[in-house]
């Protein structure tokens, strides 16, 4: 009986030790807090259940899984999002942030994860407009002040119509008042794929014709967090994982 009790105690200690080691391993997994302005569908938004969803959210979660770290995502208003990063409220920002030379002076960016440049939106039945060269002789809607305007102005023979709000251009396109709309990729996807009013009526054609890359932002000099995020991104970029996310959110 004494030997049996001793065996049970030994087994209990062994199991407890394994459990403790397992807990230590789990607790040592790095957690990175990430802010996003969840008002930019389909990149980041709040769904009907109150969850933060979107391309960016799926991407950072996939990078975390591949890189062996965890993320805690919180919704932060755009006007405060960089202030919170500077004050250390969170470690990073993923919120459709375009990498610019000016921003790189203030913050560190991850490797680029998507080209969110300008694309063409046409009516679903349109088969002859697939590139900038096909716009000659056509009426094209753009939003005032966007990079799309400058690109379209370089093409002779295009009838350019500028709008204060892109939604008005989209409406004119759907009604046949213009032939095409130029927009950055995420907004184009939002109207074409995630707006019930235009589903089946509009489509995106061609690849982005400007380069406007998004990156994940960290505080200047926070190399540890930056390297952790980049390690995860490198494992998924160019793989089927990202292709599936693009099909889900951007096509």
CATH number of the domain bearing residue 216: 3.40.190.10
Can you tell me the distance from the alpha carbon of 153 to that of 155, in angstroms, rounded to the nearest whole number? Answer: 5
Same-domain pairing of 110 and 223: yes
Considering the domain boundaries, does residue 200 fall inside one? yes
Same-domain pairing of 91 and 128: no
What global pTM score does this model have?
0.77
Tens of pLDDT, residue by residue over 6-17, are: 444 444 444 444
Query: What is the percent of the chain with per-residue pLDDT over 70, rounded to a whole number?
Result: 89
User: In terms of Cα–Cα distance, which of 221, 147, 151, 239 is closest to 187?
Assistant: 147
Same-domain pairing of 171 and 243: no
Considering the domain boundaries, does residue 180 fall inside one? yes
Q: Give buried/exposed letters for 52-67 (b at 16+ CB in 10 A, else e).
A: ebbbbbbbbbbbbebb
Same-domain pairing of 232 and 111: yes
Contact 198, 192 (CB under 8 A): yes
Considering the domain boundaries, does residue 23 fall inside one? no
Query: Confidence band (pLDDT; 50, 70, 90) for 103?
Result: very high
For position 26, what pLDDT does the model report?
Answer: 45
Query: Confidence band (pLDDT; 50, 70, 90) for 149?
Result: confident
Considering the domain boundaries, does residue 6 fall inside one? no
Same-domain pairing of 159 and 231: no
Q: Rounded mean pLDDT of the chain? A: 88
Considering the domain boundaries, does residue 69 fall inside one? yes
Tens of pLDDT, residue by residue over 216-226, are: 999 999 999 99
Q: How many domains does the chain have?
A: 2
For position 13, what pLDDT does the model report?
Answer: 40
Q: Where are the beta strands (DSSP E) in the chain?
A: 31-36, 39-40, 44-46, 52-53, 70-75, 92-93, 107-109, 114-115, 118-123, 139-143, 159-163, 180-184, 202-205, 213-214, 217-219
Same-domain pairing of 133 and 108: no
Q: Is the pLDDT of residue 18 over 50?
A: no
Same-domain pairing of 50 and 169: no
Can you tell me the distance from the alpha carbon of 169 to that of 178, in angstroms, rounded to the nearest whole number? Answer: 8
For position 10, what pLDDT does the model report?
Answer: 45
Residue 155 sits at φ, ψ, to 5 deg, of -100, 120
Same-domain pairing of 129 and 83: no
Residues in the chain: 251
Range of the domain at 43: 29-115+212-249
Can you tell me the distance from the alpha carbon of 168 to that of 104, in angstroms, rounded to the nearest whole number? Answer: 34
Considering the domain boundaries, does residue 79 fall inside one? yes
Same-domain pairing of 105 and 216: yes
Same-domain pairing of 174 and 56: no
Considering the domain boundaries, does residue 15 fall inside one? no
User: In terms of Cα–Cα distance, which of 75, 72, 70, 71 is closest to 45?
Assistant: 75
Considering the domain boundaries, does residue 7 fall inside one? no
């Amino acid at each position: 009986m004494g030997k049996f009790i001793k065996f049970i105690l030994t087994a209990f200690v062994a199991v407890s030790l394994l459990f403790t080691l397992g807990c230590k391993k789990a607790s040592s997994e790095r957690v990175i807090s990430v802010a996003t302005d969840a008002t930019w569908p389909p990149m980041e938004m709040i769904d009907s259940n109150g969850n933060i969803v979107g391309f960016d959210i799926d991407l950072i979660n996939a990078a975390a899984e591949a890189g062996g770290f965890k993320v805690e995502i919180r919704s932060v208003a755009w006007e405060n999002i960089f202030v919170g990063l500077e004050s250390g409220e969170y470690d990073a920002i993923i919120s459709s942030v375009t990498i610019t030379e000016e921003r790189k002076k203030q913050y560190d960016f991850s490797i680029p994860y998507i080209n969110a440049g300008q694309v063409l939106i046409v009516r679903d039945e349109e088969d002859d407009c697939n590139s900038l060269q096909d716009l000659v002789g056509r009426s094209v809607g753009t939003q005032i002040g966007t990079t799309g305007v400058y690109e379209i102005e370089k093409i002779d023979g295009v009838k350019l119509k500028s709008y204060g709000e892109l939604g008005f251009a989209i409406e004119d396109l759907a009604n046949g008042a213009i032939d095409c709309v130029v927009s950055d990729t995420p907004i184009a996807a939002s109207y074409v794929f995630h707006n019930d009013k235009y589903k089946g009526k509009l489509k995106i054609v061609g690849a982005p014709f400007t380069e406007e890359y998004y990156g994940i932002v960290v505080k200047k000099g926070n190399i540890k967090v930056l390297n952790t995020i980049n390690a995860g991104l490198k494992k998924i970029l160019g793989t089927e994982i990202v292709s599936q996310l693009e099909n889900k959110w951007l096509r």
